[in-house]
């Protein structure tokens, strides 16, 4: 038996002004996308924006349903839209922003496990790391690849 450890590296910023311009733009797109959230049940409005290798930015917002499990998170809405519109084009980065009852959350919202798994698949598919930017209004966390949020990724049927 051996004791092992995983270290996760990430960056923390106090405001979008500290980010590089392309990431700041992506956070702005995710913030705008929160306006398109359909979330009458949770009143938690999430926006996600994906920057593609072809320079396009594709956004999504969470979509809920009275049959709760039929809804979908902002991240998967954005990623599925991206790959349905531009199949196989690498997703260089995804930014996530949330509002609670209309007010931007100060702390970053972390993607659920299912969204992390979908991120992992697109990262593997395109062979390019996907940067993840979790943007609260007072704290922004940046992870350079999906592995950092999902260690021991399930990515093949061995």
The residue ranges that bind ligand THU (CB under 6 A) are 39, 42, 44, 46, 62, 64, 71, 73-75, 109, 111-112, 115
63/126 with CB nearer ligand THU: 63
Residue 121 known to be catalytic: no
Catalytic residue among 25, 75, 121, 144: 75
Residue 156: CB minimum distance to ligand THU, A: 25
70/156 with CB nearer ligand THU: 70
Of the candidates 134, 142, 130, the residue with the CA atom closest to the CA atom of residue 98: 134
Residue 77: CB minimum distance to ligand THU, A: 8
29/73 with CB nearer ligand THU: 73
Of the candidates 107, 51, 101, the residue with the CA atom closest to the CA atom of residue 79: 51
Per the listing, tokens 């996907």 go with 130
Instruction: Kindly state the tokens that stand for 1.
Output: 């038996």
Q: Distances in Å between the alpha carbon of 100 and those of 6, 74, 104, 108?
A: 33, 14, 6, 12
Q: Distances in Å between the alpha carbon of 127 and those of 5, 53, 93?
A: 26, 12, 13
Strand 57-61 relative to strand 91-100, pairing: unpaired
Where b means 16+ CB within 10 Å and e means fewer, 43-74 reads ebbbbbbbbbeeeebbbbbbbbeeeeeebbbb
64/147 with CB nearer ligand THU: 64
Residue 44: CB minimum distance to ligand THU, A: 4
Give the residue numbers annotated as catalytic, written as ranges.
75
């Amino acid at each position: 038996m051996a004791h092992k450890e995983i270290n996760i590296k990430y960056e923390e910023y106090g405001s979008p002004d500290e980010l590089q311009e392309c990431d700041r733009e992506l956070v702005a797109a995710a913030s705008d996308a929160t306006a398109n959230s359909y979330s009458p049940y949770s009143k938690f409005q999430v926006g996600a924006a994906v920057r593609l290798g072809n320079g396009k930015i594709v956004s999504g917002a969470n979509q809920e349903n009275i049959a709760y499990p039929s809804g979908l998170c902002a991240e998967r809405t954005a990623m599925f839209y991206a790959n349905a519109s531009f199949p196989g084009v690498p997703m260089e980065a995804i930014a996530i922003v949330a509002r609670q009852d209309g007010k931007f959350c100060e702390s970053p919202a972390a993607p659920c496990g299912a969204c992390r798994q979908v991120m992992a698949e697109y990262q593997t598919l395109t062979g390019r790391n996907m940067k993840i930017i979790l943007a609260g209004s007072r704290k922004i966390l940046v992870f350079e690849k999906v592995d950092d949020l999902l260690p021991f990724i399930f990515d093949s049927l061995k």
